[in-house]
Structure 1
Amino acid sequence: MKLMKTLIAGAVSMAFLPAVPAFAYEAGDIIVKAGVINVIPKDGNAEVGNSELDIDSDIQLGLTGVYMVSDKIGIELLAATPFTHTAEGDGGDIDGVDVITTKHLPPTLSAQFYPMDAASKIQPYVGLGVNYTFFFDEEDDAGLGSNGLKPSFGLAYSAGVDYMVNDNWLVNASVWKVDIDTEVKGGAADGLDVEIDPVAFMVACGYKF
């Protein structure tokens, strides 16, 4: 009987404790996301004589990892499988001509701010970070004697929203605006400034540890 009274008293006490949903974002949480990411460079990426260069977009597998420093602040690392882009002449003497094809990886490290209550199932956020983009496997399609493109450092601005499906699984939509400026190395176009400055969109599923 004494044991029964103790159990009942414990159950009543727990019933009056404030409810803390399991989906709360807390310091120490690790959130991993994987999905489809589309990198779309701006138009008019470089000027070549009486022509411009336009770089096409590409879709790859995007990966992000977030470590929650607190219930409001997270640190995110963005990675992806290599993107492939071709720069094509737009107007003038090289209109429609493929000039250079390159692959690149754009790892980006950002600090994020989550304004909602930590227990909310919907978690919008904004971020500010730094991007490092390096280029490889360049193809000199136009025979300009180029040795590729220089690496780029620049700022990255981001925003997104997580929706917790249950205690651990979530879906995410996010966008980045990245400052990527590079130069052609060697050949007839040596020193040519190329401003890529893409917008990247990602739709992903994630898991919170």
Structure 2
Amino acid sequence: MRCKKYIYKVCAALAFSVCSVAHADDLENVIKIGYARVNLNTKSGELTGPPGTTPPGLGLGVKDLDVLAMSYERRLSRNWAVQFQAGVPPTLTAVGAGTGQSVGTVATARIWFPTVLALYTFADVPVIRPYIGLGVTYTFFTDQKSSSAYTSAFQGTSSSIHLKGSWSPYARVGFEYQLDKRWIINLEYSSFRMKTVATVVTQTPGIGAISRRVDIKGYPQIFGLTVGYKF
């Protein structure tokens, strides 16, 4: 429910921005769809738990992602636009690192990072038009699952995991090439900050529920190639 509430807030902010400048000249809608490669560039702290329950040096690594990227853009003038972007949420895979590298896959989850951006296009540049963007994103997770390998490593019977969401500024630079009046090709590079806390609760025979946690920080870099349609 909290995730849905944040999505509604992002959508409402976009709608307000569009409506507040509805009088601007040369309004234009653009839908873009394509491929994005997300290099997550994460670092984790050590997994911690109650004294005597967690060996030192256990960390987490996160695999990079391939994303089907989608966005809606409302052009407000020749130079300015507001964009809402989302995509099909990929599966995030966390693996053991440090002394826990042999465990393999530790957890999986769907990762979402809907984003609202203000874009400025250098419209007077011929042929290939550069642009810059700045906005905000909210990263959150669904379908969070801990692996049986993790549970077995701690001699448990079952485990559950929760990954905390976070807000972050979001920056982009890109280039657009106009194929004709309606179609464009877009190449972009984006970056933002990702910060989460993973809390894993393992049911352990003879002891009960043991909660462990690890901090994860990253500065994802996104390389995207999309095709856009104006209407």
Q: Report if TM-score (shorter chain) is over 0.5.
A: yes
> Are residues 103 and 158 of structure 1, via their aligned partners in 2, closer, same or farther at CA, if it must alter by over 3 Å?
same
Q: Within 5 Å, which residues of 2 pair with 1:93-132?
A: 93-95=100-102, 97-117=104-124, 120-132=126-138
Q: Work out the number of aligned pairs and report it.
A: 183
Q: Give the structure 1 partner of residue 88 of structure 2.
A: 81
Is residue 149 of structure 1 aligned with residue 149 of structure 2?
A: no
Question: Would you say the 8 A contact 1:160–1:175 is kept in 2?
Answer: yes
Q: Give the structure 2 partner of residue 193 of structure 1.
A: 215
Larger displacement relative to structure 2 (188-197 or 103-112): 188-197
Amino acid at match of 1:125: Y
**Separation in structure 1 between the aligned mates of residue 168 and residue 212 of structure 2, nearest angstrom:** 21
Structure 1 unaligned residues grouped into runs of 5+? 1-25
SS at match of 1:166: coil
Amino acid at match of 1:55: V
**Separation in structure 1 between the aligned mates of residue 40 and residue 175 of structure 2, nearest angstrom:** 23
Alpha-carbon distance, 1:160 to partner: 0.8
Amino acid at match of 2:115: T
Q: Give the structure 2 partner of residue 138 of structure 1.
A: 144
**Separation in structure 1 between the aligned mates of residue 84 and residue 229 of structure 2, nearest angstrom:** 15
Alpha-carbon distance, 1:51 to partner: 3.5
Q: Give the structure 1 partner of residue 16 of structure 2.
A: none
Alpha-carbon distance, 1:133 to partner: 1.6
**Separation in structure 1 between the aligned mates of residue 211 and residue 64 of structure 2, nearest angstrom:** 22
Q: Within 5 Å, which residues of 2 pair with 1:1-209?
A: 27-48=26-47, 49-95=56-102, 97-117=104-124, 120-141=126-147, 142-143=150-151, 145-187=159-201, 188=210, 190-209=212-231
Amino acid at match of 2:139: T
Larger displacement relative to structure 2 (27-36 or 109-118): 109-118
Give the greater-gyration-radius structure (CA).
1
Residue-by-residue CA offset, 1:142-178 (whole Å, 9 max, x unaligned): 1273432112211111111110001111101112102
> Are residues 192 and 170 of structure 1, via their aligned partners in 2, closer, same or farther at CA, if it must alter by over 3 Å?
same
Give the CA RMSD over aligned residues: 2.0
Amino acid at match of 2:227: C
Residue-by-residue CA offset, 1:43-73 (whole Å, 9 max, x unaligned): 4244333143210012121101111111111
Q: Percent identity among equivalent residues?
A: 26
